Structure 1
Amino acid sequence: MAEFFTEKRVVISPDTDHLADSVASRFLSRVYKRSEAGETVHVSLTGGTMGTAVLRAAAARPKASKIDWSRVHFWWSDERFVAQDSDDRNEKQAREAFLDGLDIPAANIHAMASTDSGLDLDAAASAYAEELAAFAPADRADSGPWPSFDICLLGVGPDGHIASLFPDRPEISLVDVSTVAVRDSPKPPPDRISVTRPVINSSQRVWMVLAGADKASALGLALAGASYLSVPAAGAKGRRRTVLFVDDAAAAQVPQELIDRDY
């Protein structure tokens, strides 16, 4: 499968509140534009503090009520394999922050299976691969059996991990499957499901959101072109745009020429 490379750009906000609001505003504007044009929009969500903060900020914006959400499909790049009602679930966090307030068909929210779904971890990963494949575009020979996300939101860990693809582990190298069961994760909970790097890199726009001084090293390595095997964030690239949205604390050492003041 062909890969398309875009230069990474950095957009800096003064603090986490402004960061969440900045990403939320761009997210809603992009979805509104595509849905108003009559297109189906696929968005991949992420969990974590900043992922949830972005969704909470989006819910508070008036533009959220002006979007035809029936044209929008929500997915996740990864999920913690825990009970459906666990606070660790990315799905639960997203529903409480944003999704439950939308007028959206239930079938448009594509959650990964939980431990109480009747599926084991491997079967849950396979089930998500099948659901992704059901929405693969028929006219895209340059992509695999999955939709091309219009926006793929990703958090980045201090170790440079994205989704549940952690450094120096076999999951980051997989290219022949769309999902993977992750066991013994270095970050709890230990059992997870993740999409793979080819799915992420088929996205039109990859938006990574980082906040805090503890993310500065991961940001620097991602921008410096580190190996994606050791710094997975370095290998996340959108077909059209690859943007790292960061706060001042995370961006302390970003070269000025990489900062995008117009995006």
Structure 2
Amino acid sequence: MSNERRAIVHSSKPELAHAVAERFLNKVPQIIAEFDEATIVLTGGTMGQAVLDAINSSPKRDAVDWSRVNFWWGDERWLPARDGERNDVQARAALLDHVAVDPERVHSFAASDSGLGLDDAAAAYSHELAQHSTRFGTYPHFDIVFLGVGPDGHIASLFPEREGIRETERTVIAVRNSPKPPDERLSLTLPVLNSSVRIWAVVAGSDKASALGLTLAGASYNEVPAAGLEGRRKTLFFVDSEAAAQVPDSLIDPGQFWTSADSTDEH
């Protein structure tokens, strides 16, 4: 397995969101042309939504055959279906409601008002992953997994020194007593995230600098969950200059401050 792990720095949050959006809009048509579909895992958070906003506002948006794109989520807040704090609600408002997606290809986690309990909701999403899995697998073939990184280094809803980050058997876990509100959440586990061909972590802000520095320096993923990210082909950290403040120069990609032309090297 060949895996690249790089940090690509952009000067500001808007430029970061724009560059990731452009890379996405260049890459997804290539994936669809090769495999007849693309499968994407979305994330929440400020930068996750900013990237979707940038995709939506790009003139390249309608060059994507959105009817061939499958959407999943890395984690979700255990809130009612229409709650504006849910990751899927934010994603729909930012992008999915504006493009011609196939509703059957949009896979949201169950909501707290769905009639399911938290554990049953985790089991239901795990079952849904298995139903769309590759042959003999337990989850789909993911082309791109988007993730944010918290100030504590958490990814999805996998937090430092919690059981969730060490889970290797289950594909989806119920999270209780989260250190970040709301207390209850649902999350894919690290092996599922790492099954993706490409992991794109989008990280911005000075409060993320320490976690990013530790991540790229090879900290223990039990202590800094983001350090456990390893996509099958590429693990890219798209960051702004503030988040990169504690990353040694040797760990920053020499093509920092790249533009959308960056995507041409990815196969």
TM-score (norm 1): 0.94
Secondary structure of the equivalent of 1:251?
A: helix
State the match for 2:64 in structure 1: 67
Q: Which residue of 172, 176, 182 corresponds with 2:175?
A: 182
Q: Superposed, which structure 2 residues align to 1:144-183 within 5 Å?
A: 144-183=137-176
Q: Give the letter for the 1:194 counterpart.
A: S
Q: Deviations over 1:170-217 (max 9, x none)?
A: 011111110000001000000100000000010000011110111000
Q: Is the 8 A contact 2:154 2:226 kept in 1?
A: yes
C-alpha displacement at 1:88, in angstroms? Answer: 1.2
Q: Is the 8 A contact 2:4 2:233 kept in 1?
A: no
Q: Superposed, which structure 2 residues align to 1:32-43 within 5 Å?
A: 32-43=29-40
Q: Superposed, which structure 2 residues align to 1:65-144 within 5 Å?
A: 65-138=62-135, 144=137
Q: Which residue of 215, 232, 235 corresponds with 1:222?
A: 215
C-alpha displacement at 1:147, in angstroms? Answer: 1.1
Note if 1:18 corresponds to 2:15.
yes
Q: Which residue of 36, 43, 47 corresponds with 1:46?
A: 43
Query: Matches of 2:123 and 2:36 in 1, distance apart?
Result: 28
Q: Give the letter for the 1:83 counterpart.
A: P
Q: Which residue of 208, 221, 225 corresponds with 1:232?
A: 225
Q: Deviations over 1:87-133 (max 9, x none)?
A: 11000000000000111110111000001111110011111001111
Aligned-residue RMSD, C-alpha? 1.2
C-alpha displacement at 1:253, in angstroms? Answer: 2.6
Query: Matches of 1:85 and 1:99 in 2, distance apart?
Result: 15
Of the structure 1 ranges 32-41 and 100-109, higher mean CA displacement relative to structure 2 is found in: 32-41
Q: Deviations over 1:7-32 (max 9, x none)?
A: 42011010000000011111111111
Secondary structure of the equivalent of 1:208?
A: strand
State the match for 2:265 in structure 1: none
Query: Matches of 1:60 and 1:33 in 2, distance apart?
Result: 20
Query: Matches of 2:209 and 2:46 in 1, distance apart?
Result: 17
Q: Give the letter for the 1:174 counterpart.
A: E
State the match for 1:258 in structure 2: 251
TM-score (norm 2): 0.93
Query: Matches of 1:208 and 1:98 in 2, distance apart?
Result: 19
C-alpha displacement at 1:148, in angstroms? Answer: 2.5
Q: Give the letter for the 1:150 counterpart.
A: D
Q: Give the letter for the 2:131 counterpart.
A: A
C-alpha displacement at 1:38, in angstroms? Answer: 4.5
Q: Is the 8 A contact 1:36 1:68 kept in 2?
A: no
Q: Is the 8 A contact 2:55 2:95 kept in 1?
A: yes
